Copies of this chain bind each other. A is one copy, B any other.
Amino acid sequence: MRVLITGIEGFVGSHLTELVLQHKGVELVGTSLQGNLSPSLEHLRSSIEVRTLDTTDANAVQSVISTIRPDRIIHLAALTYVPASMKSPLPTFQANLLGGIHILEAVRELQQTSGHSSHLMFVSTGEAYGNVDPAQMPITEECLLRPQNPYASSKAAVDLIAQQYQRSFGLQITVVRPFNHVGAGQASIFVCSNFARQFAEIAAGRRDPVLHVGNLESSRDFTDVHDVVRAYWQLFERRSEETVFNVCSGTTHSISEVLALLMEISALKVSLEQQTERMRAYDVTVVVGDCQRLKRATGWKPERSLKQSLTDLYAYWRENLDL
């Protein structure tokens, strides 16, 4: 089975690669903007064909997909940093939305011209739902999409378009809407990783025991990245006619709980300094997703607790402060 992962160099791409390569008979091709892999995948490099691909280039996308003729595609390549999308939206729309359409078109053309059908997994986001009324929690896949920033609206838009391609052209499409995920290798622009890194810096004596924090009252539905990529892979073999699936834990944890867990894990005493620039005005307050559809379709359930995820993250930063 030929598997293509776009954006293989990223946090989720790296964890997904480890999972996919545990399966026999998989030929894995990964693409990234620079043709690079995460350093954490060096031990697997000989098992992966890595290609350079800029998804905003329609011809390049078409050429890669028609050459590889993948059986499964997981389209992860995206710009995901919300503040950058707020400051300058166009690059995020070009990468996520136009790039996504190019992938859909290439899969459609391959099916039309050669009859080869690729099962395409589109990675959308739980942020596509936006600020949901607490009365409507947990958020199901039937909830209206009301994205609050250009990152989220680029994903919401291509999420709708991917569903339309499934309906109009009979492509095999799965749209996943992951909520917050946590694990080793996550960029420190995301809250759990940011805090874990600060704790690691304090432990290493590289900063005073003062943690910079934002809004501690926000509450999120966190899933360990191992559980997330396992859900993706299981969805390829689901028992379900549905196209769209939330990937989340169905529980919610406040940012204060994240902090308390990291204090316990690190055994460090720290004081807090709240910084207004970390209080995103467009931030939503409480989020919890409904993962019943995913569970019914696959039997999946989350296996790793938030404490385990944060333990991984802290250990990761203890070893990688110089990255």
Contact = CB atoms under 8 A, between A and B. Distances in A.
Interface of A: 58, 86, 89-90, 93, 97-98, 101, 105, 108, 130, 142, 144-150, 152-154, 156-158, 160-161, 163-164, 167-168, 282
Contacts of A163: 146
Question: Interface residues of A: mostly helix, strand, loop or mixed?
Answer: helix
Contact of A158 (B86, B150, B157, B164): B157
When all copies of this chain in the complex are counted, the total is 2
Contacts of A167: 130, 146, 148, 282
Contacts of A93: 98, 101, 161
A87 to B, nearest CB: 11
B150 A164 contact: yes
Contact of A168 (B148, B160, B168): B148
A153 B164 contact: yes
Contact of A150 (B97, B98, B147, B168): B168
A281 to B, nearest CB: 9
A32 to B, nearest CB: 24
Given A147-B164, A157-B160, 6 more contacts: A130-B167, A148-B164, A149-B164, A150-B168, A153-B161, A160-B160
Given A145-B160, A153-B164, A164-B152, A58 B90 contact: yes
Nearest to A108: B89
A58 B144 CA distance: 30
